[in-house]
């Protein structure tokens, strides 16, 4: 099965051996996305809502680069550092998925950088 790496213009080098997204058979798999700036520093430290928005905008860029939209998202895997941020994450998340919602799960766990409060990995089915 052929696959294509999805790397939006301006994407910085990941901190581990992976690409932002992979497309195979019309399915886009977006890697776990953290709230990083161009130098892989955590942005909006201490603000789960702003970090969530940053993460979802990054995911949106990957999906759009692959030819899709956020309406094509079928599954999200959400990782949060602290359950106290759950409501803030959900408030921003709902803005990106106003209509029919994708499936998802959310777990609390440690993330790769201590200042990161949220990470999201996504699957989208693109035409």
Domains assigned to the chain: 4-125 (3.30.1330.40)
Burial class (CB in 10 A: 0-12, 13-18, 19+), 52: buried
Whole-number average pLDDT of the chain: 95
Question: In the chain, pLDDT over 90 holds for what percent of residues?
Answer: 88
pLDDT at 15: 80
Does pLDDT of 71 surpass 90?
Answer: yes
pLDDT at 38: 86
* Secondary structure string (H, E, C) spanning 16-82: CCCCCEEEECCEEEEEEECCECCCCCECCCCCHHHHHHHHHHHHHHHHHHCCCCHHHEEEEEEEECC
Q: Which helix (H) or strand (E) holds 105?
A: strand 103-108
Model confidence at 110, pLDDT cuts 50, 70, 90, reads very high
Does pLDDT of 111 surpass 90?
Answer: yes
Q: Name the active-site residue from 19, 27, 50, 106.
A: 106
pLDDT at 74: 98
Write out the two tokens for 24.
Answer: 């195979």
Question: Is residue 106 annotated as part of the catalytic site, yes or no?
Answer: yes
Task: Express each pLDDT in 28-66 by its tens digit.
Answer: 999 999 999 988 999 999 999 999 999 999 999 999 999
């Amino acid at each position: 099965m052929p696959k294509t790496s999805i790397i939006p213009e301006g994407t910085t080098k990941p901190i581990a051996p992976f690409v932002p997204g992979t497309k195979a058979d019309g399915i886009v798999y977006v890697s776990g996305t953290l709230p990083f700036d161009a130098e892989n520093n955590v942005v909006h430290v201490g603000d789960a809502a702003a970090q969530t928005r940053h993460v979802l905008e990054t995911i949106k860029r990957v999906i759009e680069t692959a030819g899709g939209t956020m309406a094509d998202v079928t599954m999200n895997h959400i990782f949060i550092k602290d359950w106290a941020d759950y409501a803030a994450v959900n408030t921003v998340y709902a803005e990106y998925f106003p209509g029919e919602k994708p499936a998802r799960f959310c777990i609390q766990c440690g993330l790769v950088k201590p200042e990161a409060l949220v990470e999201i990995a996504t699957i989208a089915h693109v035409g």
